[in-house]
Amino acid sequence: MKKYEQVKEKLKQDILDEKYVPNQKIPSESELTIQFEVSRHTVRKAINDLVNEGWLYTEQGSGTYCADRSLSRSSAGADKTVALITTYISNYIFPSIINGVESYLSSKGYTLLLYSTNNDFEKERQCLESVMDRDLTGLIVEPTKSNHPNPNLKYYLDLEMKGIPYLMINAAYSELNPYSIMVDDELGGFLQAEHLIKEGHTNIAGLFKSDDMQGVKRMQGFIRAHREYKMPINSDMLLTYTTPEREKVLEGEFTAILARSDRPSGICFYNDEVALAALDIIRDAGLSVPSDLSIVGFDDSYLAVASEVKLTTIKHPQYDMGVQAAKSIIQLIEQQDASDPSLVYEPDLIVRESTKKI
């Protein structure tokens, strides 16, 4: 990041943190030059950018002041613009969710702005700053790494102060206790394990993502199923991974359990995408599904039927969730219904060819 961009981002952060309030004069160029240890040219470029973007305004002969950005949003209702921030856009179940949101919003005369965080906190911050620069009427967000402390909560609180409604899909930041549309992931994880238990499997492995709440809750359901059916869990068979660790865990710990003399006869996966990636490793180990190993995915994505082995999986509402999220955000924007727009979908098990009875 260039020096002027660093100065610009720090000033924006100071405004969001209310170090400078609307119509308050900010330090002079000379003072900012000393504060940031940069040249006057660098400070001037940063200020000019912030003026052009509506964060600051200048008065000739007087100085530079913090702009009242809420005024630029006072007519936002006429624009009917909703932003959607998801972790990913172009792959897996996300296109279907996005299509559901866009379809319903457009039918009601709303415009959709689309952003992706790539499941990264810094990119989430950039997305939030970008949407707050727009004349926004509402925001739909899929949380980034929802099982980790989030450094961007102040942006959501800023939205609340400005009266801009938001809701979350798939997961939620518990600190905010927001409106949300999600799947009962704990029940989904329970159904995964229960299916294998009912098929006669007694040595079941699980591979779950640990940096988002969906993965944590699915693992909770996996454990609950074993407890309710009074089946012990071999701790060596319960694997977790974070977003950047997925390939490392698949190639390392997961490959290792397939080579064990007491290898599992069934495996529950965080989602269909991971299950399909694991299928290649299973084949490389000389095993076949479901003859040697039964596997269960989650989400019933297009990947569930993309290979010759059709996955038994848990159904995710996808398109319907997108439509419902759009309906809920409009309800919050237009305030025609005071009921809580939150919704939890109850998942269903879809049985296909990747599991069999022992």
Size (the chain), residues: 358
Buried b (16+ CB within 10 A) or exposed e, 97-114: bbebbbebbeeeebebee
Instruction: Supply the pTM of this predicted model.
Output: 0.78
The type of residue at 103 is S
Q: Which residues pair with 267 in a beta bridge?
A: 205, 295
pLDDT tens profile 116-136:
999 999 999 999 998 888 889
pLDDT tens profile 154-207:
999 999 988 999 999 999 999 999 999 999 999 999 999 999 999 999 999 999
Span 219-223, average pLDDT = 98
Write out the two tokens for 305: 């039927």
Interior CA angle at 338 toward 334 and 340, to 5°?
105
Q: Is the pLDDT of residue 75 over 90?
A: no
Distance of CA 4 to the CA centre of its chain: 31
More confident of the two residues 19 and 229: 229
- The pLDDT assigned to 134 comes to 82
* Beta strands at 349-350 and 313-314: parallel, antiparallel or unpaired: antiparallel
Model confidence band, residue 9 (pLDDT cutoffs 50, 70, 90): confident
pLDDT tens profile 261-312:
999 999 999 999 999 999 999 999 999 999 999 999 999 999 999 889 999 9
pLDDT tens profile 307-332:
899 999 999 999 999 999 999 999 99
